[in-house]
Structure 1
Amino acid sequence: MDENIILDDLSFAKEKRKLGIKQFHAKHYLSALKLFSEAISICPYVPSFYLNRSGTFVMLSRHKDGLRDAHKAISLDPSFKAAYIRILNIDIALGDTAAAMETIKNLVNLDPKCETIRSATETVKHLEELEKGIKLNYEIKAYDNVIFYCDLALSSAPAALKFYAAKCECLLMLQRFNEAASIIENIDSIDDRNAYVSYVFGLNSYCADRIEEAKKHLLHSIVLDPECTKSKELCHTCTVLINCVKNYYKQLDKLQYQEALTVLDKLHDDIKLAPKTKCRIMSLRGYAMLKKGDWLDAIAVANKILSANRQCVEGLLLLGRCYEKLENYVDAVGNYQAAFDIRSTVKTKQRLHQAKQKLAAWEKTSYYEILNIQPTATRKEIKSAYKKMALSHHPDRHPNNSPEKIKVEEMKFRRAHKAYETLYDPMKRWTYDKYGYS
């Protein structure tokens, strides 16, 4: 009776496997994985079931799971050659040359004439040579060469996390941030991270100015390898940076603007900043200068940020705020709009909306308000008010002003001239008073 039950179970499991193979060939790997797993749960002692599931795991880029199943198949049948070949292929795909050589030895003992042995041995030796090239070029900081060797290695070992990590680190060193980020995206779902991979994740976050996130990755790296010097150094940098920014805002809250600037000055002396972080810290300097009343210095900082990176949102926001202070709402709106187009956030949207409101109010300012006179003003009073405004705002009277200040003075002078031109002429004034335009 028990034997019949076992045979029935085996038949049922084989049907599951048969359906799984159909799904596998149709490239429906998740469905195939489910069916192979069901077959194993029914009959957990059949080596070929594990090998089928191993291949499915590989197609799903879950190489470590595939390796585990192939080893399970061999534990059930030590002479299962196909399982050894699967292990060898996965070892190579993972870039584990030491494990691959060990598997080759086992395969030679099992079947010296196995055709896979020769080609696999050549591939392993090729990977070992490439690893030497990667190490040598990394030591001399020839990062382009490291990337080249990593690409060659990945063509033979497409699941080798160490080659992806090395390539990513070198791309970051060369400030090719977008390429590095795409690699991070591809390997982000992999749970099997060693200390070096966690360090590279931390470095990527640091370069993207996500400092808190970077610190988490780096602390994880240090847990995995307490002797990982690079992780410890960068983690210390993150801590210094986080504390510095906190101290900066603390000084701003106390209205101690010069002290806030001093805090940032010390930061530049202590650590090397990534380009994005450098722009953010410079923008913080600019805001402190603006609060302090040194708006010319703040504008200079904003222009310096944008000359290095025209897409820097912090620089655009800073310049927008500077123009608001100067009552140049046209340029303020322009900079806020550019910032909003790059990064659509609540902050950029709010800044843009407020500046547009100020611009609209500024444009609606009446000619009488511009000249600071009453609607009942006489022509003599109009002329006197205009003369006063002209003397105050004419660009020729401020030759030593900054270009930004000169631009604002020119704008105010033109507005005053237009107001005078309209109100001094009786017909134009009558039309303006009646219809709101001349």
Structure 2
Amino acid sequence: MAATADCDVMMAPEEPERSDEEREREAEACKEKGNVFYAKKDYNEAYNYYTKAIDWSRKNASYYGNRAATLMMLSKYREALEDAQQSVRLDDAFVKGHQREGKCHLSLGNAMAATRCFQKVVELEPKNEQARKELKNAAAVLEYERIAEADFEKRDFRKVVFCMDRSLELAPACHRFKILKAECLALLGRYPDAQSVASDILRMDATNADALYVRGLCLYYEDCIEKAVQFFVQALKMAPDHQKARLACRNAKALKAKKEEGNQAFKDGNYDLAHRLYSEALCIDPNNIKTNAKLYCNRGTVNAKLKKLNEAIEDCTNAIKLDDTYIKAYLRRAQCYTDTELYEEAVRDYEKVYQTESTKEHKQLLKNAQLELKKSKRKDYYKILGVDKNASEDEIKKAYRKRALMHHPDRHSAATAEVQKEEEKKFKEVGEAFTVLSDAKKKARYDSGQDLEEDGLNMGDFDANNIFKAFFSGPGGFSFEGESAASGPGNFFFQFG
């Protein structure tokens, strides 16, 4: 068997070991090229050459300092901080290194560490005005942090947002400040703004538990509870001790369960139980504005079913206070206003609804309310006679007989002038009411809200005595002793058929 022939492999010649002097010259050449690109603001190329310089010589503080400056221009403050710290480890007297380290600390929101760095610069260069200015900036950030912490405890979230905005002008890369701002924006109901801040952080760090918590908080407050729970759970996976995420997750699950129980009780017609469950749900988290608005409206619907119209109006009003764009609450309250004959309030609510959603249905609801308002400003002939709006012709006649005899002026001839005048007015109104409601055509026009004057009925010239005589004429009707009904006051008696 033939032996296998050996193969000759061409190997690249090894580069001769460079001397320290040669390595330093190569490093300086890379540094100079990096400086050219830095001056041109081509920071990526500058970074590459500064890195090559460091590869050639790892003991030169200025190379790390220059790369730190480049990384700062690229807004990579954490990487820049490492280079700046390495530069001062190599040379504790390297002023620019301490200054850049301080600037990185400040940009990342660590104002205390930044203060120490800038104080070191002032020790090395007492006349360094830039370092003194940065010391003031660090002090300002510390003060904004102190104020924001106190205002958060007082739930003055707008002021916290203001403080964080001022802090981020000096510490633009501080995730902690951004998260606090986002959380406060969510608590203020500015969910898109809060989502935007949290999403920016998650794009850079998908495992940031605080940003995951804020994303969940926004969804939770927008009543997307199932999705919110998913983010809270994810945040707890990243940080098992995240107390805010744990509390929010518990509240979200409890709120969802209690609301669903209330909805089911309502569907089952168990309104008392539904009322209790919605009330319990409202106690879970007062910060959840959108969900609580729905709970108030749901409880208002329950109160309407229980004929507790004033309580229903109050619940709908609370829902609208929490969410002034909540159409369903306006509609429910408007119906309750109508049912309690508060027509002006009903019209205002329907106007709001129609301005927001100009549908045919909402237009008709507004038109109906306006008609009821117009009708309410006229005399209510049904109330005057004391009958229901669906009263029959016979019921209207009986009601007129009773009221006409009750308010007839002759019956009150011995009363004071003031009482006589009031009873005469009521007697006339009873006659008006009967004249309209006993005539099918007039009644239809009255019920539809049309002007009766168009039908030839002038109430100003109305004579109630004529209606009275006509109604009571004939056997068994009404007569005065020794007088006709038109002969004026005197002795009288009533006869009923």
Q: Does 1:302 align with 2:319?
A: no
1:53-202 → structure 2 map (5 Å cutoff): 53-58=70-75, 65-69=76-80, 71-72=82-83, 78=90, 82=96, 84-100=98-114, 115=128, 118-121=132-135, 123-124=137-138, 127-128=141-142, 131-132=145-146, 134-135=148-149, 150=164, 153-166=167-180, 176-178=188-190, 182=193, 185-186=196-197, 188-191=199-202, 192=205, 195=209, 199=213, 202=216
2:354 to 337, 346, 367: 337
> Equivalent residue of 2:200, what SS?
coil
Q: 1:151 to 1:321 in 2, by over 3 A?
A: same
Instruction: Please state if 1:312 is matched with 2:344.
Output: no
Aligned counterpart for 1:418 among listed residues 450, 454, 479: 450
CA distance in 1, matches of 2:189, 2:172: 22
Matched AA of 2:251: T
Q: Is the 8 A contact 2:235 2:242 kept in 1?
A: yes
1:154 Cα offset (Å): 4.4
The answer on 1:247 being equivalent to 2:261 is yes
Contact persistence 2:209–2:238 (CA under 8 A): yes
Alpha-carbon distance in 2 for matches of 1:76, 1:226: 37
How far off its partner does 1:358 sit?
A: 7.8
Change (3 A) 1:118 1:207: same
- 1:280 equivalent in alignment to 2:277: no
Q: CA contact under 8 A between 1:283 and 1:302: conserved in structure 2?
A: yes
Instruction: Name structure 2 gaps, 5 residues minimum.
Output: 1-12, 17-22, 56-62, 371-389, 398-425, 430-442, 458-497
Amino acid at match of 1:278: N
* CA spacing shift, 1:261–1:67, aligned 2, 3 Å: same
Shift of 1:68: 0.9
2: CA distance, partners of 1:138 / 1:172: 13
**For residues 139 and 265 of structure 1, what CA distance do their matches in structure 2 show?**
27
Aligned partner of 2:249: which letter? C
**Whole-Å Cα distance in 1 between the matches of residues 364 and 139 of structure 2?**
69
Query: 1:285-332 deviations in whole A, cap 9, x for unaligned?
Result: 234455677777645533453466644334224346768999x99878
Taking the aligned partners of 2:32 and 2:255, their CA distance within structure 1 comes to: 60
Mark the CA change 1:108 to 1:337 in structure 2 (over 3 Å): closer, same or farther: same
Per the TM alignment, residue 92 of structure 1 is displaced from its structure 2 partner at its CA by 0.6
1:203 to partner: Cα distance: 4.8
Once the two structures are superposed, the pairs formed by residues 23-42 of structure 1 within 5 Å of their partners are 24=41, 32=42
Q: 1:145 to 1:14 in 2, by over 3 A?
A: same
Q: How many residues align?
A: 357
Alpha-carbon shift at residue 93 of structure 1 (Å): 1.8
By how many angstroms is 1:267 displaced? 1.6
Specify the alignment match of 1:401 in structure 2: none
Structure with bigger helix share is 1
Compared CA separation, residues 313 and 114, structure 1 to 2 (3 A): farther
Alpha-carbon contact 1:287-1:298 (below 8 Å) kept: yes
Q: Residue 294 of structure 2 aligns to which amino acid in structure 1?
A: R
Aligned residues of 1:306 and 1:315 also touching (Cα < 8 A) = yes
Shift of the 257–239 alpha-carbon distance from structure 1 to 2, 3 Å rule, reads same
1:124 shift after superposition: 4.0
Deviation at 1:72, TM superposition (A): 4.6
Q: 1:213 to 1:11 in 2, by over 3 A?
A: farther
1:96 CA drift (Å): 1.1
Please, which runs of 5 or more residues in structure 1 have no aligned partner?
25-31, 59-64, 341-348, 364-384, 398-410, 426-438
- 1:37/1:232 CA distance change after superposition, 3 Å: same
CA distance in 2, matches of 1:336, 1:37: 60
- Give the TM-score normalised by the residue count of structure 2: 0.51
Q: Which residue of 1 aligns with 2:236?
A: 222
1:281 Cα deviation after fit:
0.9
Q: CA deviation at 1:198?
A: 5.2
After superposition, give the CA deviation of every residue in 1:238-290 in whole Å (9 maximum; x if it has no partner). 21111122223333444544443332122234443544332221112234455
Structure with higher Rg: it is 2
Aligned to 1:233: 247
Judging changes above 3 Å, is the alpha-carbon distance between structure 1 residues 131 and 391 closer, same or farther for their aligned structure 2 residues?
A: same
String of CA shifts for 1:58-78, please: whole Å, max 9, x gaps.
2xxxxxx33314535776994
* 2:276 paired residue among 262, 274, 277: 262
TM-score by length of 1: 0.56
Does the 8 Å contact 1:88/1:103 carry over to 2?
Answer: yes
How far does residue 354 in structure 1 lie from its aligned partner after superposition? 3.9
